[in-house]
Amino acid sequence: MASAAVSDRLSDRQRSLAFATILVAFVMDVVDSTIVNTALPAIQSALGASDRAMQWVVSGYFLTFAVLLIVGGRLGDLFGYRRMFVSGVVGFTLASLACGLAADGRALSVSRLAQGAAAAIMAPQGVALIQQLYSPTERIGRLAAFGVIGGLAAIGGPVLGGLLIEWSPLGLGWRSVFLINLPFGILALIAGLTLLPSGRSGHALRLDVPGSLLLFAALGTLLLPLIEGRAAGWPWWTSALGLASIALWWAFWRYECRRRTLLGSALIEPALFADRSFRIGLSATMGFAIASGGFLLTFSLTLQRGLGYAPIDVALLHIPFGLGVMAGISQIGRKALPRHGRRVPIVGAVVMAAGCVATAMAVWLALSPAAIGALLLIAGIGMGSLGGPLGPITLARVDRNHAGVAGAMHKTVQQIGGALGTALIATVYFMIAPDTAAESMPDAFLAASGIVALDLVALALLVRRLPGRLFDR
């Protein structure tokens, strides 16, 4: 009822301006998750940072975003969506400033952790506000716009990063990659205060602080040995932390099941895992995020540090890749999924695997940028055909009463997969091509792409276990 009251109270122009405000913050968040890929070599060179510091710059953002995403949604329910949106925008803008002013790799890594945490507070409010601004039928088009714009922003991040490094506005160099958020953050702050409606949930659930801490500890103890272990020579504590992570994941699951039974409120909804489509879809989403995060990171590093490409050249090569992704999402996945069901993501996974390995072979053979771009187009089509359908498949049979928490769990798993992909695959990459071994980077990229392909093949085999009919007619 609250959402109907808000939509009736605002004119179409006011709702459009509010939606535009939400989109600005959404694009800032998505772009910042990928913009550093192209800028990493410039950042590392300027700061004299280690490879593991650069892994934290990428994985740290995903880590805090994943852990705090559901918490951010609950905070909006409790204290108001506009208030938490504005708080998240302020935090994100200040964290971006701290990233741009960082004096060394450690300061930048900590600032990226803060940036991911602020994004987790900011991002969930947008979906909640759309619920208030639009009727159920109107939301379909608005949420579809989120998907298309999100895909463009994710691929546009590396392109924008390369352009900013090349142009170096005001002589800022790599710092402009983060400082560009300042004017947009100020714009989103002013618009949020003046254009967004107030509102909160009438049935807000309690915050799950212990569950959030357990999730952070479980994911942190998994990432720490992956990122720090190679440089330390894989000492005993890396194995100890790996075992501790397994125990913490088990403790997190048991705690969440018990909390859901006793209080009716938890970070996750254990009952959702009784649905085979949800279980498989969530697992496939994790595998897809690992593959895409690891491939994009090692691709940018290899071209710049291994083959001497300029950031602008890497940015331009992301354009055919982005076109392929958008074609896969909008033209292939969306239209074919209702008719062909699970076959669409299976074919997408195989095409993406083949495209990634073929791209790595082209880089290894030092083929022309045109050849690499053509193969990236194929990999992008596979990525879009796989990634686009995973959300609808995961949520296809979810009870509407659990739609909110199911969507949040899906988004959280995407972020966890991104963190694991950049940590795990980059660790293998740097084991083959350490800091001073630029000549071995094409070899390392080929090996990393082989892991990506194996991950995607396993994902395709998993998706084969989905029901033959996914959607009701």
- Sequence-ordered list of residues with C-beta below 8 angstroms from that of 345, at least 6 positions apart, any chain: 284, 333, 385, 386, 389, 390, 393, 460, 463
Supply the pLDDT for residue 4.
47
- What's the confidence (pLDDT) of residue 69? 87
Give just the sign of the alpha carbon dihedral 91, 117, 124, 155. positive
| Fold classification of 274-468 (topology level) | Growth Hormone; Chain: A; (1.20.1250)
Nearest to 115 by CA among 35, 48, 228, 42: 35
pLDDT for 265:
73
Query: What's at 464, amino acid-wise?
Result: R
CATH (residue range 1-204): 1.20.1250.20
Give the span between the Cα atoms of 397 and 184, in whole angstroms. 38
d(Cα 23, Cα 17) in Å, to the nearest integer?
10
> What residue type is assigned to position 250 of the chain?
W
Output the pTM of the full model: 0.87
Q: What is the pLDDT of residue 172?
A: 92
How far is residue 252's CA from residue 303's CA, in Å, rounded to a whole number?
40
Displacement of CA 353 from its chain's centroid (Å): 19
CB 325 within 8 Å of CB 447: no
Q: Return d(Cα 118, Cα 61) in angstroms, integer.
A: 10
Residuewise pLDDT in 10s, the chain (473 residues) = 444 456 557 777 888 898 899 999 889 988 888 889 899 999 998 998 888 888 999 999 999 998 888 888 888 888 888 999 999 999 999 999 999 999 999 999 999 999 999 999 998 888 778 777 877 667 656 766 776 787 778 778 888 998 999 899 989 999 999 999 999 999 999 999 998 887 766 555 677 889 889 999 999 999 999 888 887 888 999 999 999 999 999 999 999 999 888 877 777 878 888 888 889 999 999 999 999 999 999 999 999 988 989 988 998 898 899 889 888 877 776 677 777 788 899 999 999 999 999 999 999 999 999 999 999 999 999 998 998 888 888 877 777 666 667 777 888 898 899 999 989 999 999 889 876 567 889 999 999 999 999 999 999 999 999 887 766 54
Give the span between the Cα atoms of 303 and 141, in whole angstroms: 38
Report the C-alpha dihedral over residues 169, 175, 177, 179, rounded to 10 degrees: -80
pLDDT value, residue 360: 97
